Every structure is written in structure tokens, then in C-alpha cells.
Structure 1
Amino acid sequence: MRVATFNLQNMRLRTQEGRPVLDGAFDQDESDVQRPVALSLADREQTAKVIHAAQADIVAVQEVFDTPALDFFHDNFLLQTGSPAYPFRYCLAGNDGRGLNVAALCRRQPIIVKSHAGLTGADLDLSDLPRELRDHRLFRRDCLELGFTGVTLFVCHFKAPYPDAEKAYVIREAEARAVRKIVEMRFDDPRQERWMIVGDLNEPGAGDGPARSALTPLKQGFSFDLLDRLAPGTDWTYEVPDTHLHSRPDRILVSPRLAQEYPDVRPEIIRTGMPPPRHNRRGGASGGPPDTPSHASDHALVYADFPGLA
């Protein structure tokens, strides 16, 4: 089994020039600034090429507006690359105020598809959290559970480290604690089961947020980050706009059992669809679209192989 994670950077289906068009890989609200249709098409052709190059059995994706957008991308872009079909596609509504959700493209059918977007901190017995996290929905998007015969995936997209880095850290750490609780409730002995936590966990790079890690609840032997197996400097998946700072928000965390069963597995990172560094901006000087060549996403795709895993 090959598992991938990819932040698709704001994929939404709209009607432009009288036809359905997917938003291009651009962060700014497209209702305020519309990019040329040709550029949006070119962006999503690049997105499809990156996914095709990965040849993953399961692709966990982030920042997808809804199932129609995912289906439209699959049918009109991904299949055009010659990629085998992903007949099982899931995008459940989460908590993102812009409507951007976690989703998945699967070549095999899961036996469990479950959203955890409605959970509060109190639901998970996290009574020490701030009130807005304890008494209200905790996840900024969702923790989407996909259960297969041999492995369970938890697809996540945690809070980004802005605009208030300290407040974002508190939310992100709470999300990490919540995912751990979900795994612990799912399995009697998580150490002895096969599971992964995949997605954009939004851990900032050096100089881009608090030095301490909000992902600590998922570490310390609870799970193992496969990107830790890569050499420093080769493990980045994102470049902070208008800087040369690299970070690795995109992760594949595996259970102790999987880490032991696959000691030599190292993830691969596909960066070919990312914009050149000088173009990696959230908007132009006038607030309009950046002068950006077509690109797949501002994130890299990450995948890992698990031979024999059903």
C-alpha cells in the first residue's frame, strides 16, 4: 500500500464564463479576486500531474471545498493524466469557516468512514482546555477516520500558525491531544495496532512560530514521524511566503507497530508542482493575484510505501 498526503491549496468548484471551473492554487478569497480561467485550469492540471506521479493507493488531501469539487477534479483532471481511477472519494463537511475540508481519494473501499468534526474537548474528557475548545467544536477542520482491513487512517488539517502564533499553538496542541484521544478510544492497545495520522499538521518551521512543538502529544513513543527518517534539510514540504524558511507541515505519523514492521520505510517528497520561491506569495502588491506561473500547490506531496499492507 502506498499512502500520500497533499494540501491542494483552496480547491473549490465555481461557475466562471458560463462553465464549471476549479479555483486555481491560490489562497486569497476568489470571490474578491478571480484569476483567469486558463491559469486556474493550468494549476489544476499541475495538481493532477503531481498526484499521478505519486501513484498512491490512498491520497489524503486537504483544502477541498466539497465532494462535487473532488469529483470534478478526479473526472476532468486526474483521469486525463492516465491515472487509474480512484472510485472511492470522500469529503465530509468540517468546521472550516471558508468551507475547506479534509478529503480522500481511495483505490480500495474503506470499511469505516467517520467524521469527528462535531467533537468538543468535553466529549474527549479534555476538561483543562480553554472554554472555547472545551465546550465547542475543537477541530478547526476535522479528523476524518478511514478504516481499511489492515490499517486505519486519521486524516487531519490542524490550525495554521497565524495570525496569532501563540493562540494558534494552543489550538493546534489541543487538536493533537484530541487525535490521540480518538486513537486511544478506537483501539484497546494502540501500540499493537496498525494506524496512521496523515495530513497537514501545520507545525511551523524555525522562526515561524513558538519553538516548542504542538505535536508533542502525538510523539514520545505514541507515534513515529516518518519524515524524521529523512536527512535534515531534505525533509521540507512548504516554504513560508516571502521568506526562505522551510517547514514540514505535511506529515505521515505511524503507530509503534507500523514503525517496527517497516523500519526502513522512508517517505518521498514530490516538490515539482510547487511555485518558484520568488513567486511564493499570498497576494500581489495591490492585493490582487500574485504574478505566479501555473503550479499544483504551495505544498509538496508526501508519500510512503508499506509493502504487503492490505
Structure 2
Amino acid sequence: MRLATFNVQNLRLRQRQGNLVLDGAMDQDFDDQPRLVEQDIADRHMTAKVIAEAKADIVALQEVFDAETLEFFYTHFLLPAGSPAYPTRICLPGNDGRGLDVAVLSKMEPLRVKSHADLTGADLGLIDLPEELRDHPLFRRDCLELDFNTFTLFVCHFKAPYPDEGKAQIVREAEARAVRTIVENRFPKPETERWMIVGDFNESSMGNENKTTALTPLKQGFSEDILDRLPLGTDWTFEVPDTYIHSRPDRIFLSTRLAREYPQTVPQIVRTGMTRYFYELGSMAVHDELKNHSHASDHALVYADFPLL
């Protein structure tokens, strides 16, 4: 079984020029810049190509606007790109005010799907959290739980490090504690069960570091981030725009049992289409440039293989 995780950067379906069109892979910060429809289409063909070529059995996605967007992308971009068929396509409403949700494409139908978007810190017994997190929905998007025949998958997208990085860190640590509590509530002995936690955790640290981070509650002997198995410096999945600053927000955490069963599994990072390009609208060569330099996402796709799972 091959599992992938991919933040597809603001995948949203809109009416433009009388047609349904997906937004290109652009941050909201650049919304004021005019974009050709052809640019957006070229971006999303590249996004589809990256997913199709990964040939994963399950793809966890982040930043999908809604179920209609996912269906449009699947039908009009993924399948024409030669993607495997994914009969199961799930995108449930989360808590992001912009509608950027987590989603799943799967060859296998899950036995159960559960959203945790409505959970508060108090619901999980985390009464020491600030009021905003204790008495209101804790997850900035969701922790989507899916049961398959041989394992359970949790798909997350934690708080981004802005506008206040310090406050965002507090939220991410609370989200990490919440995910751990959900797993512990589900499995009396989590170390003996097969489960994974995947997604975009918006934590910049890289390498198998001992320092405390917002994701420490998910480690501490609780699970293993198998991107730590990659050599330091090769494990980055995100590049800050217009810089060469790298980080690793995208993770695959395995339960103690799965980490023990798959000690040789090393994830692969696919950076195709990560580079950002801008175009002069008056350029006569813009269509050729679009064809050659479309942008899939600002994140890499990450996948790992689990034979016999």
C-alpha cells in the first residue's frame, strides 16, 4: 500500500468568465495580482500530474475548498492526467474560514469516516488551554479519521505560523495534544495498534532533533515521524517563496507498531512543480511559458510504501 500526503495550495473552484475554473496554486497574499485563466489551468494540470505520477493507493490532501472542488479536480484534471481511479473521494467541512479543508482520495473504501472539527479542548479534557481553545473548536481545520481494514488514518492541517507566530505555536501544540488524545481515546494501548497521522503540520523544524517543538506531543515515544529517516538537508518539503529557505511542514507519523513493522520504509519527496513563476500579461510567449513552467504547489508531495498493509 502506498500512502501520499500533499498540500495542493488553495485548490478552489470558482466561476470565471462564465466558466467553472480552479484557482491556480497561489497564496491568498497574491490575490490582487491579475491571473490569466490559462495560468490557473496550467497550474492545476501540473498538480494533477504530480498526484497521478505518485500512483498512491491513498492520497491525503490539504487546502481543498470543498467536495465540489475535489470532484471537479478529479474528473477534469486527475483522470485525464492518467491518475489511478479513486472511487472514494472525501472532503468534509472544517473550521478554516476560507474553506480550505483536508480531503482524501482512496482506492479502498474506508470502514468509517469521522470528523473532529467540532471538538473543543474541554471535550478532550484539555482544560489547561487558553479559553479560545478550551471552549471553542480547537482544530483550525480538522483531524479527519478514517478506518481501513488494516489501519487507521488521521489527516491533519495545523495552524499556519501567522499572523502572530508565537500564538500560532500555542495553537499547533494544542492541536498536537488533541490529536494524541483522540488516538489514546480510540486505542487503549496505542503502541499495539496500526495507525498513521499525516498532513501539513506547519512546523518548520527539520531532522531528528531533540529540541521541543509544537509537535513534541506526537513524539515522545508515542509515534515516529518517518521523515526523520531521511538524511538531514534532503528532508525538506517547503521552500519559502522567493528564497532558498527550506522547512518540513509535511509529516508522516507512524504508531510504534507500524514503525516496528516497517523499519526500512523511507518516504519519497516529490518536488516537481514547486517553483513559483510570475508572467507579464503582455508577453507574447506567455502560453509557451505556461506550458513549461506551471506551478503545482508550494509544498512537495510525500509518499511512503507499506507492503502488505
- TM-score under structure 1 normalisation? 0.91
Match of 2:77 in 1: 77
* Aligned alpha-carbon RMSD (Å): 1.7
Q: Distance in 1 between matches of 2:268 and 2:102?
A: 21
Matches within 5 A, 1:211-290: 212-275=212-275, 279=277
- For residues 160-198 of structure 1, the C-alpha deviation after alignment (integer angstroms, 9 at most, x for no partner) is 112211101000000000000000011111000000000
Match of 1:297 in 2: 297
Matches within 5 A, 1:61-72: 61-72=61-72
1:203 aligns with 2:203: yes
1:91 aligns with 2:91: yes
Query: What letter is aligned with 2:269?
Result: I
Match of 1:132 in 2: 132
1:243 deviates by 2.7
1:154 deviates by 0.3
Q: Distance in 1 between matches of 2:83 and 2:99?
A: 28
Match of 2:186 in 1: 186
Q: Is the 8 A contact 1:70 1:89 kept in 2?
A: yes
- TM-score under structure 2 normalisation? 0.92
Q: Distance in 1 between matches of 2:29 and 2:213?
A: 30
1:111 aligns with 2:111: yes
Give the 3-state SS of the residue equivalent to 2:204 in structure 1: coil
1:30 deviates by 7.8
Query: What letter is aligned with 1:196?
Result: M
Q: Distance in 1 between matches of 2:255 and 2:212?
A: 22
Query: What letter is aligned with 2:274?
Result: M
Match of 2:17 in 1: 17
1:31 deviates by 6.7
Q: Distance in 1 between matches of 2:302 and 2:96?
A: 23
Match of 2:45 in 1: 45
Q: Distance in 1 between matches of 2:65 and 2:81?
A: 22
Query: What letter is aligned with 1:214?
Result: A
Match of 1:172 in 2: 172
Q: Is the 8 A contact 1:205 1:246 kept in 2?
A: no
Aligned length: 293
1:84 deviates by 1.9
- For residues 94-116 of structure 1, the C-alpha deviation after alignment (integer angstroms, 9 at most, x for no partner) is 00011100000011000111100
Q: Distance in 1 between matches of 2:130 and 2:36?
A: 43
Query: What letter is aligned with 2:203?
Result: E
Structure 1: stretches of 5+ with no match in the other structure:
281-290
Structure 2: stretches of 5+ with no match in the other structure:
279-288
- For residues 284-303 of structure 1, the C-alpha deviation after alignment (integer angstroms, 9 at most, x for no partner) is xxxxxxx9942100000000
Match of 1:141 in 2: 141
Query: What letter is aligned with 1:295?
Result: H
Q: Distance in 2 between matches of 1:31 and 1:214?
A: 30
1:273 deviates by 1.6
Matched-pair identity in %: 68
Give the 3-state SS of the residue equivalent to 1:119 in structure 2: coil
Match of 1:3 in 2: 3
Q: Distance in 2 between matches of 1:218 and 1:242?
A: 31
1:57 aligns with 2:57: yes
